[in-house]
Chains A and B, each alone.
Chain A
């Protein structure tokens, strides 16, 4: 049973690890696009109508898809002055209780964000700007990103439960 859970946790870890690493290559893309915008404006004398919007979307996708990776890496900032005073097992007990709040927030992002993306998709929603890009691809990144985070949170929860029961992972 525990071996099976550990395999599941490893699987989730590796999904988020790879998603994050691939998503991080959006950063050089962002650098490239925005530098091109400045060059286009001053050297070619014509600003583009699409780069500002596209950059904001790339940024959004980067952050939303990277959430799971950041959590997997343990880099979500918290206040740990009191928390670190507890033993490993104590911390695992606290975390498995506060997991409820995690699900509350990220779950709402997943469900309501998914609903928002779905509405956008069936209406084939486009942005109301000159470039008018489709918005539904972009809105899809919220439920996807929230799902990745939920999975990572669940993996952490499983680890905590094992620590609570067995005293170690």
Chain B
């Protein structure tokens, strides 16, 4: 059969089956089975379990349950509320200080865990009611928490980066390193935006009244709240970046550290422990079963020659490669509105990375742009995870429409950051280059 027609049928059936609500892992796997059978016959089906076993024996992927466990444990321990207490005492006196501090806590959380859920849920429970009580404008509050939480996938460690690295055949360490400065940039852009708005509009982020502010000795005592998380961040990232251990081993150390954190804050009970194990299993299986289906699909996709076919088409297009890049980013934005970011990475990485390489772009840099775009995916309706989290947490008088309105400026800021990284690729690529030499 002609490659063009095969490619078309392949993607049409992918979209068709996805719409039926069949789990993504099954959609990808079933398409792989169906096409393998009809293109190469029943004997070729051995490739399906062989691919699956390949995924299962991948040592790098075993970091996924470990990072997820770490995030769940930290979410259940009282680390987040101790950190918020610190922020409250240090930044409460500034206009918009609590919202800015919330973004900082989200950045800490992002540097401790590999997903975006932990920070969003913890801050939603702790920071949101406290800020609303202090008459903060709900748009600033919701936007800061939802956008800050999404930083979890950009600031290393990051589960989605591990998935990208696997399918793009790049080093996990290099991607982690490349995420550091774009992550900091995005965090500080959010903080700057909050600071500027609260400075000019007095009533959207009022400072704490004088009598509620605390003395310097109180402030220094409150610093205790960030000692534990600070140590955990330094340990996990230090271990990875200085090559002391592999990302997987660092994840194990971090997971152990999170148990210790929970024990120190006296929130480690048998129920918390077993619930964390069950939830870790559930979330890990959800992600890794999609990887299983995705790797079967990717093997099929490569074997049909569809990659070469698309590459040829793109290379003959009479436009600048930056227009093509913009087109790809735009398609990610649309996909981000409709699908789960993890799923998009698994489907699109094998499709786009060979194209990106043939256009002469750096795949690590492209990975960072991809992840930043997926952060927007967490915030863009109708399918935005963090929007659902927020809806579940906010008081009943805050409607879904309010939430949509609150995140608009933050989505625009995210887009701005993507453009900055496209123009200045060195912001992402400087650190991995430094660490490798």
Q: What residues of chain A have their CB less than 8 Å away from a CB belonging to chain B?
A: 20-21, 23-25, 27-28, 30-31, 33-35, 37-38, 41-42, 52-53, 55-60, 62-64, 66-67, 69-71, 73, 75-84, 91, 94-95, 97-98, 101-102, 104-106, 108-109, 112-113, 115-116, 139, 141-142
Contacts and interface: CB of A to CB of B under 8 A. Distances in A.
27 contacts: A20-B281, A21-B274, A53-B59, A56-B58, A59-B56, A60-B56, A63-B284, A69-B285, A70-B289, A75-B286, A76-B24, A77-B342, A77-B343, A78-B24, A79-B19, A79-B21, A94-B21, A97-B20, A98-B21, A101-B22, A101-B26, A102-B22, A105-B293, A108-B45, A113-B53, A115-B46, A139-B53
Contacts of B65: 27, 30, 59, 62
B184 to A, nearest CB: 27
B255 interface: yes
B26 A80 contact: no
B24 A79 contact: yes
Nearest to A139: B53
A98 B22 contact: yes
Interface stretch (B80-88, B136-144, B246-254): B246-254
A82 to B, nearest CB: 5
B338 interface: yes
Interface in B69-121: 69
A69 B248 CA distance: 25
Contacts of A31: 66, 69, 252, 255-256, 259
Q: How large is the interface on B (under 10, 10 to 19, 20 to 34, 35 or more residues)?
A: 35 or more
A104 B34 contact: yes
Nearest to B296: A105
Contact of A57 (B57, B253, B343): B57
A85 B278 CA distance: 30
B57 A21 contact: no
B429 interface: no
The 7 nearest A-B residue pairs measured at CB: A83-B21, A60-B56, A34-B252, A105-B29, A59-B62, A76-B23, A101-B30
B50 interface: yes
B277 interface: yes
A37 B22 CA distance: 40
Contact of A81 (B57, B284, B342, B382): B382
Interface of B: 17-27, 29-30, 32-34, 45-46, 48-50, 52-53, 56-59, 61-62, 65-66, 69, 244-245, 248-249, 251-253, 255-256, 259, 274, 277-278, 280-286, 288-290, 292-293, 338-340, 342-343, 382-383
B148 to A, nearest CB: 24
B348 to A, nearest CB: 14
B46 A112 contact: yes
Contacts of B382: 81
Nearest to A98: B22
A38 B253 CA distance: 9
A64 B245 contact: no
A92 B286 CA distance: 22
Given A38-B253, A59-B56, A101-B17, A24 B277 contact: yes
Q: Is the interface of B mostly helix, strand, loop or mixed?
A: helix
A66 B280 CA distance: 10
B259 to A, nearest CB: 8
Contacts of A42: 244
A79 B339 contact: yes
Contact of A77 (B24, B50, B248): B24
Given A34-B252, A108-B33, 20 more contacts: A27-B281, A30-B62, A31-B69, A35-B249, A37-B249, A38-B244, A42-B244, A56-B58, A59-B61, A59-B65, A60-B53, A60-B57, A75-B282, A76-B289, A77-B340, A82-B19, A82-B21, A102-B22, A105-B33, A106-B26
A98 B20 contact: yes
A63 B57 CA distance: 11
A106 B46 CA distance: 13
A62 B235 CA distance: 26
Contact of A56 (B18, B19, B24, B57): B57
A28 B59 CA distance: 16
A98 to B, nearest CB: 4
Contacts of B280: 24, 27
Contacts of B53: 60, 113, 116, 139, 142
A21 B282 CA distance: 10
Contact of B20 (A59, A71, A83): A83
Nearest to B253: A35
Contacts of B23: 71, 76-78
A95 to B, nearest CB: 7
B252 A30 contact: yes
Contacts of A20: 278, 281-282
B282 A73 contact: yes
A63 B285 contact: yes
A71 B282 CA distance: 9
Contacts of B66: 27, 30-31, 34
B245 A28 contact: no
Contacts of B343: 77, 79
Contacts of B256: 31, 35
B48 A108 contact: yes
B334 to A, nearest CB: 13
